[in-house]
């Protein structure tokens, strides 16, 4: 079930960019950004884990199709620190999502759902959203 901030009817088409700016809390364990069609169809579950679910300083990404999770993908680069402001930018196309992080780190995650439009964003965890940009 979604908690935190939820945005719907966003209408972000392929080739466009979503920017999320926020502050990571002191003592952060993890935070989550979910993007997709709706709560049960998530093209990107972006989950930086400081120390949660057996992962330490690891970014875990996944997708959910009709309520079913896919295979997790882990990124070893971890450009996040507690008590800092960060910007995360996500661009999508029919085959991939490109995630741009602090310190010029960037990686791709497959668009497993083939979404052409992202209508849903949910943020939760040890992260306070300051702004969301749709470009």
Please report, for the domain that includes residue 119, its CATH number.
Answer: 2.60.120.200
Give the list of residues 6+ apart from residue 6 with CB closer than 8 angstroms, or none: 120, 121, 122
Report the number of distinct structural domains present in the chain. Answer: 1
pLDDT number for residue 110: 98
Query: Strand, coil or helix: what is 102?
Result: helix
Give the range of the structural domain holding residue 71, as residue numbers without chain letter: 5-134
Taking all residues of the chain, what is their mean pLDDT, rounded to a whole number?
95
- For 47-58, what is each residue's pLDDT tens digit? 999 999 999 999
> Tell me, what's the pLDDT at 101?
97
Handedness of CA 34, 121, 31, 15 (dihedral sign): positive
- Rounded to 5 degrees, what angle do the CA atoms 111, 42, 74 make? 65
Q: Is the pLDDT of residue 41 over 50?
A: yes
């Amino acid at each position: 079930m979604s908690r935190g901030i939820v945005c719907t009817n966003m209408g972000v088409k392929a080739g466009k960019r979503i920017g999320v700016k926020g502050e990571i809390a002191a003592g952060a364990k993890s935070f989550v950004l979910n993007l997709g069609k709706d709560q049960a169809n998530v093209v990107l579950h972006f989950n930086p884990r400081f120390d949660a679910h057996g992962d330490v300083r690891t970014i875990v990404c996944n997708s959910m199709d009709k309520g079913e999770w896919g295979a997790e993908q882990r990124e070893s680069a971890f450009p996040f620190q507690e008590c800092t402001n960060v910007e995360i930018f996500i661009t999508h196309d029919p085959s991939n999502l490109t995630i741009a992080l602090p310190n010029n780190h960037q990686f791709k995650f497959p668009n497993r759902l083939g979404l052409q439009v992202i209508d849903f964003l949910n943020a939760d965890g040890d992260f306070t959203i300051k702004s969301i940009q749709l470009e």
